[in-house]
Amino acid sequence: MHLLAEAGKDEISFLLFSKQPFVVHGFYVYSFNKHISPAEYAASLQKIIHDEHSLAAEFASCTVLYNTDECVLVPEEYFAEADRTGICDLMFGENRTTLCFHDNVKDQRIKAVYRLPQKIYDTVNAAFPKSSFSHATCSQLAAGKEDLLQCIVYHNNIKLILFKEGALQIVRLVEYASPADVCYQLLNTCRQFGMSPDSVNVLLSGMIEKHSNLYKEIYRYFLNISFSALPEGVALDHRLEEYPHHFYTHLISLAQCV
């Protein structure tokens, strides 16, 4: 059994799966208070691991993907490892309670430079001592997609990834409080990059339902909307079949990259 964790700003998700064949055995989502402090986040994670025994098992592999907004993409030719902290300080302000890292972005000549609260990083390492980690963005930007606006819906945030003519345009993790906020971000992203809401393909995944107010609001402005489908060759534990597949397909896509 393998474990993938996606640690966001105020939530954390877990996917339990096996490989060859690829079977999803479990899926967990835990939401925290908005703007939770690193100390509170760490305490909540410790409680989750203590209470959910399946997460404390021995895994063949464990991968933690951080999904934070303090992340910047830098072309490979302009990146130097010694500049990591300076880049983060310039973009997000100085913070000496954080650690800076960088990873290669999959299929791109780009580095993701990001920082994590040390309290959260230390707690995750203590909970999963044999885990590897990177930023989720690094595995979400596979090249070659035509005009596509991806929107992953989280508890208090959405992640927008826009491709135009096969080239990455922008990655953006933003907060929202209402369906109107989400539509504004989608429409503004299209406007910035000269794409029409009438023609752009919008791919939704995460915690959104077809009969929700959020979906209805998006449908008012965008004509070509689809939900992320279960990848070919992936099987599910029968207990997961009662939930819409797009709730966790973004995690499956991440797990297939590790």
Same domain for 100 and 181: no
Same domain for 134 and 33: yes
Per-residue DSSP letter, 37: -
d(CA 4, CA 27): 10
d(CA 85, CA 40): 25
Per-residue DSSP letter, 245: G
Give the number of domains in the chain: 2
pLDDT digits (tens, 9 = 90+) for 172-214: 999 999 999 999 999 999 999 999 999 999 999 999 999 999 9
Instruction: Output the pLDDT for position 167.
Output: 87
Same domain for 215 and 126: no
Same domain for 13 and 75: yes
Length of the chain: 258
pLDDT digits (tens, 9 = 90+) for 210-246: 999 999 999 999 999 999 999 999 999 998 988 999 9
Same domain for 114 and 162: no
d(CA 51, CA 11): 16
Same domain for 54 and 85: yes
pLDDT digits (tens, 9 = 90+) for 95-148: 999 999 999 998 788 999 999 999 999 999 999 988 999 999 999 986 556 789
d(CA 157, CA 175): 4
Same domain for 159 and 92: no
- Three-state SS annotation for 61-82: EEEEEEECCCEEEEEHHHCCHH
Same domain for 206 and 124: no
Same domain for 82 and 55: yes
Same domain for 192 and 84: no
Q: How many CA atoms lie within 13 A of 127 on its CB side?
A: 27
Q: Which residues contact residue 245 at a Cβ distance below 8 angstroms, ignoring those fewer than 6 apart?
A: 227, 228, 229, 230, 236
Same domain for 132 and 168: no
Assign residue 98 the CATH number of its domain: 3.30.420.250
Query: Rounded to two decimals, what is the model's pTM?
Result: 0.93
Cβ(127)–Cβ(30) below 8 Å: no
* The two structure tokens encoding residue 49: 């691991």
- The SS3 call for residue 189 is helix
Assign residue 150 the CATH number of its domain: 3.30.420.260
Q: Which domain holds residue 195?
A: 144-227
Residue in the block written with tokens 């780009």: 110
d(CA 136, CA 176): 20
Q: Could you list the beta-strand ranges (E) of 154-239.
A: 157-164, 167-175, 201-206, 224-227, 234-236
Same domain for 188 and 88: no
User: Is the bond leading into 21 cis (omega within 30 degrees of zero)?
Assistant: yes
